[in-house]
Amino acid sequence: MRIRATLMSVLFILSVLVAAAQAAEYSADFTTTSKEGDFSGKMFIKENKMRMEMPEAITITRMDKKVGWMLLPNEKIYMEVPLRPSDGVISGDKMPGELSRKLIGPEAVGDMQADKFELVIQSGQGQETVFLWVAKESSIPVKTAAVDNAWSITYSNIVKAEQPESIFELPEGYTLFSYDMAVPEAAKPEAGK
């Protein structure tokens, strides 16, 4: 299911993002570029919580509750995915699954001075190598990219500020997505009995 794949991608992004910005609270705009297309959104980080607002969906990741929610505002439905500690950062500046981190050197991202790192991460699909740029001034990630340039995520308009707890809660009025909602009555196995 495309939505579940999107949520899992977002969770991977979360682990990379939060790894370098442990206790920081901030908001930022992000732009994702890949061969599938480009999209932009807004993200909010608070300790072990993240909210990403994209054109057609909102994701809320709560490592403290070990749950991720993908909300579809137009349909007022949400999906819930249980999370394991390895899906996000627990503590320290080494992210779960990180096998190695090598400083490549200083490199500007837009108008921000950053340190560029090469990370090797153990994921469900095996080992993956990514680049991570961390702002020197704030220690907040400003870019993440595949080493082959297949995709990248750039963060801008970063504002370090306290984030309201309410934006990391499941909003009222949403219904948990279920199999029954996706399959027409006539197509259900018990319909032919």
Residue 79 belongs to some domain of the structure: yes
Q: For the chain, count helices (H), then strands (E).
A: 2, 12
Q: Is residue 187 in a domain?
A: no
* Residue 82 within any structural domain of the chain: yes
Mean pLDDT across the chain: 80
Task: Provide the CATH number for the domain around residue 136.
Answer: 2.50.20.10
% of the chain at pLDDT higher than 70:
74
Q: Which residue has the higher pLDDT, 15 or 146?
A: 146
Residue 190 lies in a domain: no
CA R_g for the chain: 18
192 in a structural domain: no
pLDDT value of position 178: 75
Q: Is 189 among the domain residues? A: no
d(CA 135, CA 108): 9
Selection from 14, 120, 105, 123 nearest residue 67 by Cα: 14
What's the number of domains the chain is made of?
Answer: 1
Q: Which two tokens stand for residue 82?
A: 């249980």
Whether residue 21 lies inside any domain: the answer is: yes
**pLDDT per residue as tens digits for the range 38-69:** 889 999 999 888 899 998 899 998 888 989 89
Tell whether 49 is covered by a domain: yes
pLDDT digits (tens, 9 = 90+) for 159-178: 999 999 999 999 999 999 87
The residue that leads in pLDDT, 88 or 40, is: 40
Q: Which of 80-84, 124-128, 168-172 has the highest mean pLDDT?
A: 168-172
Q: pLDDT band at residue 121, thresholds of 50, 70 and 90?
A: confident
pLDDT at 85 over 70: no
Domain that holds residue 83: 2-180
- Say if residue 4's pLDDT is above 70: no
